[in-house]
Structure 1
Amino acid sequence: MRDHSSISLSLITNKLTYALVAIAALGAMSSAQAKVLFTDTSISALYGTDYELVPQETLTTVTLEHASTHTWGGVFFFVDRHQGKENAAGKEFKETYGELAPKLKLAKFDNSFIKQVNLAGQYEFGSNSNGFSQDNYLVGVGADLNVPIPGMKYASASLYHAFNDKDNADDQQITLTYGWEKNNFVIDGYVDYAFNSEDDSVKDNIHINPQLKYNLQEVLGIDNRLEVGMEYSYWKNKFGSDKTQNAASALVKFHF
């Protein structure tokens, strides 16, 4: 007998894939007609230690990142290239991981703590030299927030259902993002809380990942932002395991 629940899940996953592609395509097609409200692209280099589940717990990372907002919604994208040290077998650890997160504006509010409500999607992809790979699709709702703190540039909250690939059980995720800047000091980052996994052996986990930076553009008299600082990664029950990560990385970030 065929497993109809598996068939239904497959159909849902396929529909979700089409929905995410449609959202991204809408952004591309609308760019000619819709106004770009904000856009930023950057490349970063990081070096840090104490990364759990990584050979010798050391990583060098190069990150390409893009964020833009439009009258129809917005797009956030990044891809990380991680390179670690050799494991006991003499094999160097390498990993590529990225996320594409489009949002489509559903409603906008004036003079409110909630500025905008969005249909939110996210595609997570990655693979590493240990043979692990992933392709996960998240869909949900989100809100852009008006946080009354001087220097606050943006804040958002989103709730997703994660349709994870065949090797990982589905779960839910809450994501918070924020950005603050004053007198060339910058604090930005995100919080991911993954919970309610369909696999009871996978623990709820929270990842808090702020960056603390100083913008040297004014000091150096250059046309583009150049930020230096650090990134801190606190990840309790990393990937749903018993491991908790406390890792700090030196950071250089150039915007273009």
Structure 2
Amino acid sequence: MKLTQIAAICAIASTATLAQATPVWQDFSITGLYGENYELTPDEKQSTITFEYAAKLQYGDFFAFADRTNSDGQSDTYFEVSPRLSLGAVSGKKLELGPIKDVLIATTWEGGDDMNNYLYGVGVDLAIPYFQYAQLNFYRANNDIQEDDYQMTFVYGIPFKLASEEFLVDGFLDWSTAEKDEVAHKSELNWTTQWKWNAGKHISPSTKFYLGIEHSVWHNKYGVPNKDENNVSALVKYHF
């Protein structure tokens, strides 16, 4: 294991330990997706079950998810674990400037079949009108199966109402740099957005049961040249 990978693992472990505390709030959800225009899968059709956990903690925040995908009878599992440590909370000072609400140490562990990537860097929480939340993270990525690169991740959520109906648009944008390795690894961009209607409101005021779509736009998917994806999947999501 490379020294930089060991350092990245230590950074993730330290961030998770320091950020851990009784949650200010937490959320657990399960999502089902089905789409028919995927790239670099055994078949263009793919179904996915996603388990997600998010929490706001005293000294930061924590997000994790696991995808279980099935395409043409082949199943795979992919997960990410992303603890962040708030430098404002640790120092007891407000690290605010313009739209920046806080500065954080940002880490992520990406794992799956025969691969583990470790990302570490800095993140900021942003105050943007109409956004429920917005995060911008900059990472150095120590990768298992390709050369190390750099990544920028923007995460966002925008709730809104039409008449009495509740909607939520949320998602992320990942952009990573190109790197030279045995197989050319191109710069890639993945912009995935979920457009959701809270049908659960008609069951009870506190029920969060969403119906909608997930739209995924991917340029040079997995860094493979000219493998572009534009896929719309049907979505069902329930928050416990």
Partner of residue 117, structure 2: 136
Q: Unpaired segments of 5 or more residues in structure 2?
A: 89-93
**Kept after mapping to 1: 8 A contact 2:29/2:53:** yes
**Kept after mapping to 2: 8 A contact 1:172/1:197:** no
SS in 1 for 2:98: coil
1:243 maps to amino acid: K
Question: After TM superposition, which residue ranges in structure 1, 4 or more long, deviate above 3 angstroms?
Answer: 108-112
Residue among 2, 5, 11 paired with 1:19: 11
SS in 1 for 2:43: helix
Once the two structures are TM-superposed, the CA of residue 109 in structure 1 deviates from its matched residue by: 3.7
Residue among 98, 103, 107 paired with 1:121: 107
**Kept after mapping to 1: 8 A contact 2:123/2:135:** yes
2:129 maps to amino acid: P
Is 1:176 paired with 2:168? Answer: no
Q: How does 1:97-112 map to 2 (within 5 A)?
A: 97-107=78-88, 108-109=94-95, 112=98
Residue among 48, 53, 67 paired with 2:40: 53
Larger RCO: Structure 1 or Structure 2 (Cα < 8 Å, ≥ 6 residues apart)? Answer: 2
Q: How does 1:93-242 map to 2 (within 5 A)?
A: 93-107=74-88, 108-109=94-95, 112-127=98-113, 133-149=114-130, 152-165=131-144, 167-183=145-161, 184-199=166-181, 201-221=184-204, 223-241=206-224, 242=226
Once the two structures are superposed, residues 63-118 of structure 1 have per-residue CA deviations (whole angstroms, 9 ceiling, x without a partner) of 00011112200001000000011xxxxxx221100100110011334573000100
Indicate the structure (1 or 2) with the bigger Cα radius of gyration.
1
Once the two structures are TM-superposed, the CA of residue 217 in structure 1 deviates from its matched residue by: 2.2
Once the two structures are TM-superposed, the CA of residue 145 in structure 1 deviates from its matched residue by: 0.2
Partner of residue 91, structure 2: none
**Kept after mapping to 2: 8 A contact 1:45/1:62:** yes
Partner of residue 68, structure 1: 55
> Partners of 2:134 and 2:128 in 1: how far apart?
7
Partner of residue 81, structure 1: 68
Aligned residues: 229
Once the two structures are superposed, residues 180-235 of structure 1 have per-residue CA deviations (whole angstroms, 9 ceiling, x without a partner) of 11121110000000114243711101000000000112222264200000001110
TM-score normalised by L of structure 1: 0.85
Among the aligned pairs, what percent are the same residue?
36
> Partners of 1:208 and 1:141 in 2: how far apart?
20
Q: Unpaired segments of 5 or more residues in structure 1?
A: 1-8, 86-91, 128-132
